[in-house]
Amino acid sequence: MIEAIRNAHDIAMERDERVVVFGEDAGYFGGVFRCTAGLQKKYGKNRCFDAPINESGIVGAGIGMAAYGLRPVVEIQFADYVYPAYDQIVSEAARLRYRSAGQFTCPMVIRMPTGGGIFGGQTHSQSPEALFTHVSGLKVVVPSNPVDAKGLLMAAIEDPDPVIFLEPKRLYNGPFNGHHDRPIVAWKSHPMGEVDDGYYTTPLGRAAVRRAGGDVTVLAYGTMVHVAEAAADERGVDAEVIDLRTLLPLDMETIETSVKKTGRCVVVHEATRTSGFGAELCALVQEKCFFHLEAPVTRVTGWDTPYPHAQEWAYFPGPDRVGRALTQVLEG
């Protein structure tokens, strides 16, 4: 996924001189995860550069650039660091088109690694997507594989409004992410897909059916897509796994079609349970598909606790927890 994201930057910068890339260590070093490696050398310091350790300033500068015609792609080193910039994102970036009656827009992308899986502890492992899905005026994207990561990032850069682009760290380096005793899917090595090195986009707002099935619908995004597929395989459940890809705007049509077919729904995400995005998904499924449901909509999530470093792999929804939920809704 790192290579796919880097390639998307490269193509976007080559195609459009308005695209600029910056953030903490994003220039000379190429980012702590190397997603912008080589861009400064190729395009110069005016288009790919380092920023001070000031997330509010990084996003604020990007908003100003976007308002005056550039297309900034800013990197927040970890999603956990975005909170100082939250006011800029919510009060400025998300509102600019509306408060100016269209006189100014904010075509910028805010990229950030999200989730756990690297033993980063409480301040390097959070999943804050629900904080952004609550904000009108933003788009929120979470890819689950390199092919989509590149296509969705290209689409996000070309979008006329601000996009929050969340990159699951557990998927950055393929199945093992540097920890050979901690694979993404301990139960099997999951193929990540070959990426076309040319230009293409993946439309925002469209989900993908990763695994067709007729008994239960599983809604997931990011790393949890792979966990859901593995759980269905392990339990022998005829589950339809939907990769949401974009949380805002949400592809409710695909969700509704699937749930009305299966009559059951399980929602899976890595973030904490209370007020997580899964609660919104459950509410929407209940509103749209109530008379087709054969069992209550079920959530499988992270714990309601500060991120537990010592119990990281128990905190994640794994195939066993997801599998038990699948069995529960089928029996229900």
Active site residue 124: yes
Backbone angles phi, psi at 18, to 5 degrees: -80, -15
- Catalytic residue, chosen from 9, 124, 190, 269, is 124
Query: What distance in Å separates the CA atoms of residue 143 and residue 1, rounded to the nearest whole number?
Result: 9
Strand order in the sheet with 208-211: 208-211, 239-243, 216-220, 265-272, 298-302
DSSP 92: I
Pair type for strands 239-243 and 298-302 = unpaired
Long-range contacts of 318-324 (CB under 8 A, 24+ apart): 318/227, 318/231, 319/185, 319/187, 319/227, 319/230, 319/231, 319/234, 320/231, 322/218, 322/227, 322/228, 322/231, 322/266, 322/268, 323/231, 323/232, 323/234, 323/235, 323/237
Catalytically active residues are 124
